[in-house]
Structure 1
Amino acid sequence: MSDDRQKVAAEFGEAVNMSAKELERWLASDESRDAGQRDGGESVGHESGRKIVKLLQMRKSDWTDQDYAHMRKVVGYIRRHLAQRPSGDVTETRWRYSLMNWGHDPLK
């Protein structure tokens, strides 16, 4: 594995703090489906969450260039979104729900 791929995989592993099972359960919820920016029917984050579940279930040796590109996108989104944390309790906010669609629960 190249140094760049190792770096991306490590950053992805740090940013995504939900397991595949946790993320699958979350994605099945109404809150998950209602959160995020829409490109037609499904939100961008919800679609990304489904891809993340697959990545978490795959062997790292099977990850493709497209998978690494998606991991970079996930890491970038999570970093940007965390920097926009609202004040106060975020437990039941669209901000948290959106992050969770991308595999990161800020309350963990």
Structure 2
Amino acid sequence: MTDALELDALWEDFHRAVNMTSQELAAWLRISDADEDTEPLPEHAGSPTGQHVLAILQKRRTDLTDDDLEVMYEVVDTVSAQADPENEPAAEDTRRRHLLMTLGHDPLKP
């Protein structure tokens, strides 16, 4: 398990990287998995990582598991690598934006 200072830093980094609310992320996961005829059940929508991010957003810091911490590190690393403040994806760069949104980061959100 992580020490308290490292956990505090991870918590802050994760919530800085994940700039979508749990409601926004849940809606996005449903939309991204929907097709013309069907929409998945909310608890089955999106990637496993997207679902895990959503679950973490609904937890208190004291309730985090080791699996949660692993996903939080993964999300922070991925968003940091993909989200370049100097070169944020434009609205036309939908593939990159949608990848980040699946992790709870909307690069077009101020």
Tell me which interval the TM-score lies in, with the shorter structure as reference length.
0.7 to 0.9
Give the TM-score taking structure 1 as reference length. Answer: 0.77
Superposition TM-score, scaled by structure 2 size? 0.76
Identity of aligned residues (%): 35
Q: 1:86 to 1:105 in 2, by over 3 A?
A: closer
Task: Name which one, 1 or 2, has greater alpha-carbon Rg.
Answer: 2
What is the deviation of 1:33?
Answer: 3.4
Give the unaligned 5+ runs of structure 2.
35-45
Structure with higher RCO (Cα < 8 A, 6+ apart): 1
Following superposition, the deviation at residue 46 of structure 1 comes to 2.3
In the comparison of the two structures, how many residue pairs are matched? 95
Report the aligned-residue RMSD. 2.3
1:65 deviates by 1.8
Distance (Å, rounded) in 2 between the aligned partners of 1:79 and 1:50: 20
Structure 1 stretches of 4+ with a deviation exceeding 3 A read none
- Unpaired stretches in structure 1, ≥5 consecutive residues: 35-44
1:105/1:68 Cα in 2 relative to 1: closer, same or farther (>3 Å)? same
